[in-house]
Each structure stands twice: as structure tokens, then as C-alpha cells.
Amino acid sequence: MKTARIDLTNLRNEEHFQFHTEFKTLVSRFDASTIGIEAAFAGYLPLFAREEEALNVIRKSAFTKELARADTARDSIYRGFADAVKSAQNHYNAEKKVAAKKFAILLRQFGNIARKTYDAASAAYTKLVDEANTTYAPEITTMELTEWITEIDKRSKAFDELMNNRFSEGAQKTPIRMTQARAEIDAAYRAIANRLDALMILNETAPCMPFVLELNVRADKYKTNLAQRQGRAKADKVKKEAKGD
């Protein structure tokens, strides 16, 4: 019997880490010293930690998308507010019309906030809300746009909180790269697998055999998943070629 071979390079990052997590858990259950890989496994563990750290960096990058969505949300509210002020300048009610024209002067000073950088936009929204709640509070009340200002303030603060969280996590980012981490841990895993094969060649009833049996079941599961994915990819390619895409 031999350890099942699997092309770990074809696994996606999450799958790759999960495979090694299952391997690590299995070794811990059988005990590394009992199955004869104590020294090799000790060298493997730091590499497992490195891959986990690298994967966390990838997961945290999702913050960038969240940040973009939060920025779009506050910009959308601002545009609605600006449109309401523009519309009020043509209001039949003279007081609302005058208030709108006065507030429009302030808006022109800010320019197109939605096109500004994240930091510049945050500063502009903060200033806008402050002016609307103090100097121009009477105009906002007259135009009945208080709720718009409240919503702009809410959305802008939500964005700023996300930005602060990104900076906090960014400061903790690791220089480790996933490609490097994967290559290193895969090499360590193959060395362990080779040692297990050697132990079974030397001793047909080696203590590691029950471990290898369970390991192979797990490896076969991932090999099946890979084969199915590759089969679907091939089928999709054939369909696209048939359609002339």
C-alpha cells in the first residue's frame, strides 16, 4: 500500500487549506510519534500556520469590495439630496425656493463629492453635514430635507468605520504570499507521504497503515472533486466552441 497521490496545485486556496487541515487533524488523532513522522510533522506545523496566515490576508481583501459598496451607498444618497435641493429652487413656495437657492451656493462649493477620493469625500460629507446642521439649519428645515442630512451622515459614518477597520487590519497584514506558502507546505506534505511509503515498504504491518488508509480516503475525495470540476470545465468549453463563442 502507498499514500494516494493528489495534485495539490490544482486545488483552490480554500480547498487546499482544508485538505491540509484534515491532514493535520488526522495526524493529531493518530499521534505523529506513533505513526513515525514526529520530526517531519514538527517541521510541517509552522508551514501550516503560514498558509493559514496567508489565507487570512486573502479573506480580508473582501474589505475592498465592502468599502466600494459603502461609498456607492453614501454617494447615492447625496445625489438624491442634491437633486431635491435643485428641484426646490423651482418650488412654488417662495420660502422653500429662497432656502434652496441659498443652500445651492454651499453645494457648489463642494463640487461633485461623488467623484472625489475616499478621504476627500469623507471630509466633504462631514463638512456638509456640519454646515447643514448649524449655519444652514433653517434652510434645511424650510426645505424639509432634515431626514436626507441624517441619512447622509449615517451612510458616511458607516463608510468611515469600514475604512478604519481596513486600516487596522492592514497594519496586521503578513508579507507571506499564498503561492509561496502553498509550495512550502506541499513540499513538506510530500516528504511526509514519502516517509510513510518507506515505512510501509520496510514493514508490511507498519503502525502507520491505519492512518494511511484514512488519509487516502480523504485524498480520494479531493481527487474526485478535482476530476468533476475539470470535467465540467471541459464540457463548458465544448459548448462554447459549439456555439462559436
- Give the start-to-end residue ranges of the domains of the chain: 8-60+178-243, 62-170
Instruction: Say yes or no to pLDDT of 233 above 60.
Output: yes
Q: What pLDDT does 67 receive?
A: 86
Given this model, what pLDDT does residue 236 score? Answer: 59
- The maximal CA–CA distance of the chain, rounded, in angstroms, is 98
For residues 200-217, average pLDDT:
94
Q: Sorting pLDDT into bands at 50, 70 and 90, what band is 168?
A: very low
Name the pLDDT band for 245 (thresholds 50, 70, 90): low
**Mean pLDDT over the full length of the chain:** 89
Going by pLDDT thresholds of 50, 70 and 90, the confidence category of residue 88 is very high
Is pLDDT larger for residue 54 or for residue 233?
54
pLDDT for 165 equals 74
Residue 169's pLDDT band (boundaries 50, 70, 90)?
very low
**How deeply is 51 buried, as exposed, middle or buried, from its count of CB atoms within 10 A (0-12, 13-18, 19+)?**
buried
**Res. 240: pLDDT tops 90:** no
Q: Is the pLDDT at 212 greater than 90, yes or no?
A: yes
Share of the chain above pLDDT 90, in %: 74
pLDDT at 36: 96
Predicted confidence at residue 237, as pLDDT, reads: 63
pLDDT tens-digit readout, 38-80? 999 999 999 999 999 888 877 766 677 788 899 999 999 999 9
Lowest-pLDDT choice from 1-10, 165-174, 209-218: 165-174
Structure confidence at residue 235 as a pLDDT band (50, 70, 90): low
Cell numbers of 101, please?
437657492
